[in-house]
Structure 1
Amino acid sequence: MTGITEVLQADCALGEGPIWDARRKVVWFVDIKRHRLWHFDPANGSNAISDAPDQIGWVLPASNGQLLCGLKDGLYTFSPEAAQFEKLMDVPGELPTNRLNDACTDRWGRVWFGSMDDGESDKNGRFYVFDRGTIAPAGPSGIAITNGPAVNADSSRIYFTDSVNQKIMVADLDKEKVSEARMFVDITAHFPEAFPDGPTVDSEGCLWTGLYNGSAAARFSPAGELIETTALPAKNITKLCLGGQDLRTAFVTTARQGMSEQALADSPLSGSLLTFRVKVPGFTPAEAAL
């Protein structure tokens, strides 16, 4: 791991969901509470914001050249060329007090995503899978704040995060089914004051997680052992993705919501997009199949 850099002063209230777009060679990420979809081009530093119709929890490159997005009230497509959102479908049975929060694709192009209580307290959240126009519940439920899911390179494992309870779970995955989730790591054993946020898996099958209220990102082995901790100059680390030409640049989103003036003075890069270099590259996930 090498030096940490602020590459974009985004002032995100709740920056989340960075994803490396291999087609366009840019990073997409969201500011959930300010309804913003960002993109950042590391080749020249250019960036732009598109205003979303509501809280936007995640964005994923899609197979038709558009983006698939999870907003408070359902799934949307986004055209980068026209900078326009279009409602695709509702999530059946979701409460109006919930919103969508984080997502990933598996190697078959399915999209795994979670819902959560917008007030961050009621255990109304759960996980779903979107498969070419159909949404079905899949994975744990009864969670106040879901994060992830994240899959490994061959999509044989999927990770689910229960942020409030400071736990990351893992399940076995194939094209036909997902097993019952089991404990992967209890974050309290390593970072008792921090909450696991968005997870990302690298090409060795190790899992990186952002540590909200922890000023760091942590890397765990496939066996759940803590093998690396990267201290970062922001209090609330939400998620990282691995991108760039060699997939060895970590792009890190952060949040400044709820921080006092003193806390912001102590961690002035909170809300920015940060980067650092890693030894083990990521992998290029499949685009979302629409």
Structure 2
Amino acid sequence: MQRLTATAAAPPAAAHGEGPRWDAARAELLWVDIPAGLLRRAAVGPDGDLTERAAHHGGDTVGAVAPVAAGGWLLAAGGGFSALAEDGAARVLLELAGEGGSEGSGGTRMNDAACDPAGRFLAGTMAFDQRPGAGALYCLDLDGTVRTLLDGLTVSNGLGWSPDGSTLYLADSGPGLLSAFDYDVATGTPARGRVLLEFGDDAGVADGLTVDDDGCLWTALWGAGQVRRYSPEGDLLAVVEVPVAQTSACCFAGAGRDLLVVTTSAEGMSAADRAAQPLAGRLFTARPGVTGPAAAVYRGPLDGLRQLT
């Protein structure tokens, strides 16, 4: 089994870094700071060094980002979807019925999201208090309609597809499950869900994930300070150690798409934990010797979105 240690990158720490994506059209790394409501962008040098280019405010909270084919970025923000223009101007596109609200009111927020191979935007939600069953997975389709794909989730998290698009992987960090679904790319419909991996609190729980070009899964384990690589059958193949317990997500970036970038979080950490983990919230990198895909782009409209009942 392969074992690696990730090293800290230059950009300053986030409060809760998440959702790294390689934006191939702009040749830059995207990631979000959820409670700060920020999209952050960085260049990746030939030696794997990261240089932050910009940060844009996209909402009260921003859970995830996807490049848009027509330009700019699509955000899973607040309790719905927002657009962020190239000049950094953000506008709300749709607030989802039954989602949103403030943390103190027991509301929900958008969490992880990603585009499928056809360009739909799949986005999950969670309650601020992480109460069981309050999360859901939505699909913003190519015609601008939004439908519910799954409900009864707790912390809808990492999303990824097999290289041929026929399998959708989804993490629910509440019960610590990583599931696989048959996926119809033509219709954007998951079916026949089955648990691929189950994690206990002592080993961390599956958070953000990516799928490499060989079809293997890389999942950040929140609470364990690791990113692990698994075969499509669930066999452990590699472990990347990170000196921060709250590893939140990962992606492959750079011109060769061979640089593994890991986001981390300082959310909820005690003063003692912060002192023991001074790099919490930073980005980390490693080169595991494999490549992964760039972020799929959103190919639907930005205006006239509507939620199906």
TM-score when normalising by structure 1: 0.93
The amino acid that maps onto 2:15 is A
Which of 81, 88, 96 aligns to 1:91? It is 96
Structure 2 distance, partners of 1:285, 1:37, is 15
Q: Which moved more, 1:265-274 or 1:88-97?
A: 88-97
Give the aligned CA root-mean-square deviation in angstroms: 1.7
Give the aligned partner of residue 77 of structure 1. 83
Structure 1 distance, partners of 2:158, 2:6, is 24
Structure 1 distance, partners of 2:65, 2:11, is 20
Displacement after TM superposition at 1:76 (Å): 0.7
Give the aligned partner of residue 282 of structure 1. 292
SS at match of 2:297: coil
SS at match of 2:111: strand
Q: Is the 8 A contact 2:83 2:90 kept in 1?
A: yes
Residue identity over aligned pairs, in percent, reads 30
Give the aligned partner of residue 131 of structure 1. 141
1:258 aligns with 2:268: yes
Structure 2 distance, partners of 1:123, 1:95, is 15
SS at match of 2:69: coil
SS at match of 1:205: coil
Structure 2: 5+ residue runs without aligned partners? 102-106, 301-309
Displacement after TM superposition at 1:3 (Å): 5.6
Which of 274, 277, 281 aligns to 1:271? It is 281
Q: Deviations over 1:212-254 (max 9, x none)?
A: 1111111110001111111111110000010111111011110
Structure 1 distance, partners of 2:157, 2:52, is 29
The amino acid that maps onto 1:186 is E
Q: Deviations over 1:95-124 (max 9, x none)?
A: 531111011111111111101112222421
Structure 2 distance, partners of 1:69, 1:85, is 9
CA spacing shift, 1:110–1:92, aligned 2, 3 Å:
same
Q: Is the 8 A contact 1:145 1:163 kept in 2?
A: yes
Structure 1 distance, partners of 2:135, 2:162, is 23
The amino acid that maps onto 2:122 is W
Structure 2 distance, partners of 1:98, 1:10, is 28
Structure 1: 5+ residue runs without aligned partners? none
Q: Is the 8 A contact 2:11 2:51 kept in 1?
A: no
TM-score when normalising by structure 2: 0.88
SS at match of 2:192: coil
Give the number of aligned pairs. Answer: 286
SS at match of 2:237: strand
Displacement after TM superposition at 1:137 (Å): 0.8
Structure 1 distance, partners of 2:295, 2:272, is 40
